[in-house]
Amino acid sequence: MTMKPGSFAIVGASESTKIGVVPEYSSIGLAIDGAGNALEDAGLKASDIDGLTVAYLPVGNVAQLLGIYPKWVDGTGVGGCTWMFHLRSAMAAINAGYCSTVLIVYGESGRSYHAAPNSYDTLAQGSIEQQFDVPYASASMQAVLFALPLVRYMQQYGLTESQIAMVPVVQREWAAKNPRAKLRSPTTVDEVLSSPMIAWPIRRSMCCLVSDAGGAMIVTSAERARDFPKRPVYVLGSGAAIEAGPCSPAGVRNPMEPEFIRTSARSAFSSAGVTHSDIDHLMIYDAFAHNPIFGLDGLGFVPVGQAGAFIADGNTRPGGSLPMNTNGGGLAYAHSGSYGMLCMLEAVRQMRGEAPAQVEGARTSLVHGWGGFWSACATLIFSNERP
Amino acid sequence: MKLEPTALPETQPFWDGADAGKLVIQQCHDCSSHYFPPAPICPKCSSRDTRWVEASGEATLYSYVLTNAPWPHWKTAGPMSVALVALKEGPRLISTVVGCEQTPENLRIDMPLTATWRAFGDRQRVLCFEPKHRDGA
């Protein structure tokens, strides 16, 4: 029953028409707008869709508004990497024969904040987080909880503030090539380390943007993908893992070498039948500057503790050996809250050869996203060639 | 959202302990492991034979950040430590280190801590930690 690499392909993909500051749409409006663009991109109508995934918005409402009558749905919400989890379950559902063409939908009014629910409005009275995490986490909850392991990691591996600051510096270089990115001017380590302190050691320039955005993609079998207008993006493999609740990072068993990243990476590489050296392009969800550092370590692209130096040495910048976060990332492009869909969409653009900052000749892309304030993740490996 | 922790039946014994100034957590009677947060079955071995025990209160500082925006319920201007604390019994949890200057010089990774209690808004006692003082020091 194992799905062979490249059995499924993304045949439609688009962001919402506008990203950044979009007060004219609520979260559901951004989702519908993104979905409409993806349908158009695939040359499909709503009636062609028989499977639907949505999170943080009621799936039935989104179906009804789009004119879709799905026979399979998934409403799982695990934070920013939710849309990667959805792609995995969509492939499994198609493989099982539950449906044939799945639309994965995302919309979040993360900045203009019209009509929640927003991703992390789930902190109900009496939840584990509300009792044991939120009282301490402060008004900068995301920055604080995401950064909790960082000081120990810095001490254990010698990671410096300057190395962390290089992450936004490099990502501005990518954003400079992207007309849709928010922060396109260059920055420096000194400038990053002079920005206001949010929660030591996290400074404002190490934090992601706050944006409105939506996006959607359509997945179907590789056999059918040939009939679509755009170049198919095949899913070679994937992985995922969870260790704790969204705001309960204390549940991560080994924050210095987190198992959930390693499990997800192992699953992705083995199911795809590729190794690290086969990866031409990389997206690692950057809600905060240290996220790509932990990602490179955990995914095994570098020995543990070496990721800060790897980035600071320029390996992920334009012209580097491992182009990463080529849209500018959550730090410089946009970040709408549960940003994972935007990571996936940049990877699709790169595989189609359509990205503003196109990596010449890229044939594979690995997309890795986080869920919660660091307790879940998923890893996808795409290719524009069918194995 | 009311920020003062709201107890549920499964966590009530923890909060009853807090009100009495005692750190109580669960220990599995089958595999002997302690666990947190509270749950009706043991997360390590799934046994239902779990008991509430008083923890030693001893812990170490696994990692932390210093927030500049503590909730007003703490009645402090900040910076305030948000700490990942490792209990001697094994579980890790999130808390804050009180009773010392909130600076990297005073908050050292792996420093010994002991459990203590502070008010948070309307709740008289929530779990905090303070630097462990050696007897006679």
Share of chain B above pLDDT 90, in %: 93
d(CA A18, CA A62): 19
To test the contact with chain B by mutation, choose from A122, A133, A136, A203 the residue with the greatest count of B C-beta atoms within 10 A, namely: A136
Residues of A in contact with B68 (CB under 8 A): 140, 197-200
Phi/psi for A79 (5° steps) reads: 95, -155
Residue A325: pLDDT band with limits 50, 70, 90: very high
**pLDDT at site A1:** 56
- The answer on pLDDT for A118 being more than 80 is no
Share of chain A above pLDDT 90, in %: 89
Q: Per the CB < 8 Å rule, is A135 touching B66?
A: no
Amino acid at A192: V
Taking alpha carbons only, the member of A36, A350, A34, A382 closest to residue A174 is A350
**Which two structure tokens, joined as six digits, stand for A39?**
């349908």
Q: Per the CB < 8 Å rule, is A152 touching B62?
A: yes
| Ordered DSSP codes for A304-353 | TT-HHHHHHTTTTSTTSSS-B-TT-HHHHT---SSTHHHHHHHHHHHHHT
Residue A326: pLDDT band with limits 50, 70, 90: very high
pLDDT, tens digit (0-9, with 9 covering 90-100), for A234-250: 999 999 999 998 877 89
A132-152 per-residue burial string, b: 16 or more CB within 10 A, e: under 16: bbbbbbbebbbbbbbbbbbbb
Per-residue CA distances from A358 to A172, A324, A341, B53, B101 (Å): 15, 11, 19, 59, 50
**Global confidence as pTM:** 0.95
Residue A69: pLDDT band with limits 50, 70, 90: very high
**pLDDT at site B134:** 62
Of A123, A125, A250, the CB nearest to B93: A250
Of B2, B3, B94, the CB nearest to A132: B94
**pLDDT at site A190:** 98
Specify whether the CB–CB gap between A178 and A184 falls below 8 A: yes
If you average pLDDT over residues A141-152, what whole number do you get? 94
Residues of A in contact with B79 (CB under 8 A): 199-200
Share of chain A above pLDDT 70, in %: 98
Q: Per the CB < 8 Å rule, is A250 touching B92?
A: yes
**DSSP three-state, residue A299:** helix
Residues of A in contact with B86 (CB under 8 A): none
Residues 6+ apart with CB under 8 A from A161: A154, A193, A201
- The answer on pLDDT for A115 being more than 70 is no
Q: Is the dihedral of CA A59, A61, A65, A69 positive or negative?
A: positive
Q: Which of 251-290 (A) contact B at CB < 8 A?
A: 251, 255
pLDDT, tens digit (0-9, with 9 covering 90-100), for A266-284: 999 999 999 999 999 999 9
Of B3, B79, B84, the CB nearest to A135: B3
Tokens 């692209």 belong to A301
pLDDT, tens digit (0-9, with 9 covering 90-100), for B42-99: 999 999 999 999 999 999 999 999 999 999 999 999 899 999 999 999 999 999 999 9
Q: Per the CB < 8 Å rule, is A136 touching B65?
A: no
Residues of A in contact with B82 (CB under 8 A): 136-138, 144-145, 148, 199
**Which two structure tokens, joined as six digits, stand for B111?**
């420093």
Q: Determine the residue of chain A that is closest to B120 in CA distance.
A: A135
C-alpha A153: how far from its chain's center? Answer: 23
- How many Cα atoms occupy the beta-carbon half-sphere of A231 within 13 Å? 13
Q: Measured between CB atoms, does B106 come within 8 Å of chain A?
A: no
**Which two structure tokens, joined as six digits, stand for B95?**
């808390």
- The answer on pLDDT for B126 being more than 80 is yes
Q: Measured between CB atoms, does B2 come within 8 Å of chain A?
A: yes
**pLDDT at site B2:** 85
Of B37, B68, B96, the CB nearest to A199: B68
C-alpha A297: how far from its chain's center? Answer: 17
Specify whether the CB–CB gap between A32 and A65 falls below 8 A: yes
Q: Per the CB < 8 Å rule, is B63 touching A200?
A: no
Q: Per the CB < 8 Å rule, is B94 touching A250?
A: yes
**pLDDT at site A15:** 98
